[in-house]
């Protein structure tokens, strides 16, 4: 049976996806940490010390001066051994990735032994295992779509650049290039999208803020200077920011941390903040980490409102935010009309009632109205219906009737865990004596 390279490539991509990788060099310790109950790694030095052996004896025992993997069939645990005495951390990375290949490609299910030893396995099988594990390793550490991206940068220095970008040895980078075309055929077309989101340290950069995300932009979205890059470096920076959905809208409100939005909502219904990081001068929708508009260089909505700090500010590290669930509001029926008047408690409404017949409160949580102009310059105000907990209109961002009438508290007061929301009573500061 021939080596199954397609399987090896596919499996390496699956492992990267499963462990949530989004950048190279691949941090292998993440895999060991995630699987710490079933997977461990140990250096030849440590193994020699605990066993009272010399390094040479360890090499003889494993029949390899690079590394080995042992499988305990009772506990179903794997231990990967690597020869650290070569003092070549990049080689160690490849050895460990290779042994991970034997684990993730299930080679142990095809043999009886606990260690994959050359002399205990049929030659053809051993060679297949080795080829598959090497294929897995090179695609785990240097996924072929990313190599393609680097080759597209058309650098005459591609081997040293690949070594630095993927943290692999000269030999591994060479082999990586050698198998480039065959691995390219093995990769699934749909996996390209996944790798497009990867950060590679190497490439063009903004020479003022080192941002690696400059692409075809006119202005650097992080520091706002006119981007004119022609050099490549290895320590580009990828500035974090808000996650946006496919409509370029943030999935968490950058002001009040609400994560509940109606479909198509352009504004947060609790605090009125716009979900799109638009340019305040040309309205271009920008990325979630953009401080400046890539089209015109003006400030963005998120930067203007201090949701993103200046890139060279000590606090510019974006920590992400914890979602907040606002749990107050007025119950509405399926046409967004109140079921019980929130001001007087009246429950009797005729089918087309716009107001409470007892106290006159609106029975719909309309916004204050958005002026629209028809072709003849006539102004027409459009009022949007909103949910019972909306302080602001999700469509136009204007305040709602329930906020203005005091039916709903401000989001700051309603935020679960805030002082205002836990103490409904008058605070002592309000007492005039």
Can you give the binding site for Zn ion, defined by CB under 5 A?
133, 206, 208-209, 211, 220, 222-223, 253, 255-256, 258, 268, 270-271, 273, 279, 282, 284, 293, 295-296, 298, 341, 343-344, 346, 356, 358-359, 361, 367, 384, 393, 395-396
Judged by CB, which is closer to Zn ion: 346, or 421?
346
CB of 222 to Zn ion, least distance (A): 5
Residue 285 CB, shortest distance to Zn ion, in Å, is: 10
The residue among 45 and 312 lying less far from Zn ion, judged by its C-beta, is: 312
Q: Which is nearer to Zn ion, 201 or 211 (CB)?
A: 211
Least Cβ distance, residue 398 to Zn ion (angstroms): 5
What does the DSSP 8-state code read for residue 40? E
- b/e burial code for range 277-313 (CB count within 10 A of at least 16 → b): bbbeeeebbbbbbbbbbbbebbbbbbbeeebbeebee
Rank residues 16 and 223 by Cβ distance to Zn ion and give the closer one.
223
Q: How far is the CB of 81 from Zn ion (least distance, A)?
A: 11
Contact of 338 with 329, CB cutoff 8 Å: no
Q: Is the peptide bond before 393 cis (omega within 30 degrees of 0)?
A: no
To the nearest whole angstrom, how small is the minimum distance from the Cβ of residue 151 to Zn ion? 26
Decide the pairing of beta strands 379-382 and 370-373.
Answer: antiparallel
Triad 267, 270, 271: Cα angle to 5°: 70
Cβ atoms of residues 373 and 382 within 8 Å: no
Question: Based on CB atoms, which residue is closest to Zn ion, 163 or 257?
Answer: 257
**Residue with Cβ nearer Zn ion (310 or 346):** 346
CA 365 to CA 400: how far, in whole Å? 6
Return the closest-CA partner of residue 302 out of 313, 312, 315, 288.
288
35 vs 296 by CB, closer to Zn ion: 296
* Distance, CA of 103 to CA of 228 (rounded, Å): 46
Residue in 105, 94, 67 with CA at minimum distance from that of residue 166: 94
Q: How far is the CB of 145 from Zn ion (least distance, A)?
A: 25
Please list, in sequence order, all residues whose beta carbon lies within 8 angstroms of the beta carbon of residue 397, skipping any fewer than 6 positions away.
266, 267, 272, 273, 274
* CA proximity to 272, closest of 416, 395, 381: 395
Q: How far is the CB of 296 from Zn ion (least distance, A)?
A: 3
For residue 136, give both structure tokens: 């897995």
Strand, coil or helix: what is 276? strand
Looking at 25-84, list the stretches that DSSP marks H as alpha helix, in order from N- to C-terminal side: 29-34, 44-51, 55-62
Smallest separation, CB 306 to Zn ion (Å): 14
Q: Give rounded-to-5 percent helix, strand, coil for the chain.
A: 35, 15, 50
Q: Which is nearer to Zn ion, 83 or 258 (CB)?
A: 258
**Shortest CB 295 distance to Zn ion, Å:** 5
Residue 270 vs 307, nearer CB to Zn ion: 270
In the complex with Zn ion, the residue whose CB is nearer, 145 or 254, is 254
Beta carbon of residue 170, minimum distance to Zn ion (angstroms, whole number): 21
Q: Could you tell me the CA-to-CA distances from 81 to 106, 108, 126 in Å, in that order?
A: 17, 16, 18
Q: Collapse the DSSP code of 237 into the 3-class scheme (helix H, G, I; strand E, B; otherwise coil) and give the result.
A: strand
Provide the minimum distance between the beta carbon of 201 and Zn ion in the complex, in angstroms, as a whole number. Answer: 16
Looking at the Cβ atoms of 184 and 359, the one nearer to Zn ion is 359
Continuous segment of H or E residues that includes residue 70: strand 67-72
**Cβ-proximal residues to 343 (8 Å cutoff; 6+ apart), any chain:** 356, 359, 361, 405, 407
């Amino acid at each position: 049976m021939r080596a199954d390279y397609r399987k090896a490539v596919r499996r390496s991509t699956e492992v990267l996806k499963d462990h949530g990788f989004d950048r190279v060099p691949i941090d292998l310790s993440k895999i060991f940490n995630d699987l710490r109950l079933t997977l461990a790694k140990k250096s030849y030095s440590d193994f020699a010390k605990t066993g009272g052996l010399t390094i040479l004896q360890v090499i003889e025992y494993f029949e390899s001066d690079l590394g080995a993997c042992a499988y305990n069939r009772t506990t179903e645990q794997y231990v990967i051994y690597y020869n650290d005495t070569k003092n070549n951390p990049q080689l160690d990375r490849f050895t460990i990735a290779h042994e991970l290949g034997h684990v993730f490609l299930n080679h142990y299910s095809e043999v009886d032994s606990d260690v994959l030893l050359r002399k205990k396995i049929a030659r053809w099988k051993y060679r297949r295992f080795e080829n598959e594990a090497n294929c897995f390793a090179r695609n785990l550490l240097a996924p072929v779509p990313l190599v393609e991206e680097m080759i597209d940068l058309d650098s005459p220095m591609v081997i040293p650049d690949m070594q630095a970008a993927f943290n692999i040895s000269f030999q591994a980078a060479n082999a990586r290039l050698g198998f480039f075309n065959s691995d390219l055929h093995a990769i699934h077309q749909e996996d390209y999208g996944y790798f497009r989101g990867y950060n590679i340290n190497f490439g063009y950069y903004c020479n003022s803020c080192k941002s690696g995300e400059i692409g075809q932009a006119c202005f650097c979205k992080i520091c706002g200077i006119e981007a004119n890059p022609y050099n490549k470096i290895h320590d580009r920076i990828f500035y974090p920011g808000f996650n946006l959905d496919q409509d370029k809208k943030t999935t968490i409100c950058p002001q009040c941390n609400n994560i509940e939005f109606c479909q198509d909502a352009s504004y947060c219904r609790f605090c009125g903040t716009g979900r799109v990081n638009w340019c305040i001068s040309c309205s271009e929708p920008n990325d979630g980490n953009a401080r400046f508009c890539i089209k015109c260089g003006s400030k963005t909505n998120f930067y203007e409102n201090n949701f993103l700090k200046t890139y060279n500010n000590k606090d510019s590290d974006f920590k992400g935010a914890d979602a907040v669930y606002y749990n107050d509001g007025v119950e509405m029926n399926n046409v967004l009309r109140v079921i019980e008047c929130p001001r007087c408690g009246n429950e009797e409404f005729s089918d087309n009632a716009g107001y409470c017949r007892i106290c006159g409160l609106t029975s719909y949580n309309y916004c204050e109205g958005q002026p629209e102009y028809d072709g003849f310059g006539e102004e027409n105000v459009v009022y949007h219906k909103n949910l019972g907990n909306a302080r602001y209109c999700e469509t136009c961002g204007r305040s709602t009737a329930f906020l203005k009438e005091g039916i709903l508290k401000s989001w700051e007061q309603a935020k679960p865990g805030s002082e205002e929301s836990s103490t409904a009573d008058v605070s002592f500061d309000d007492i005039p004596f």
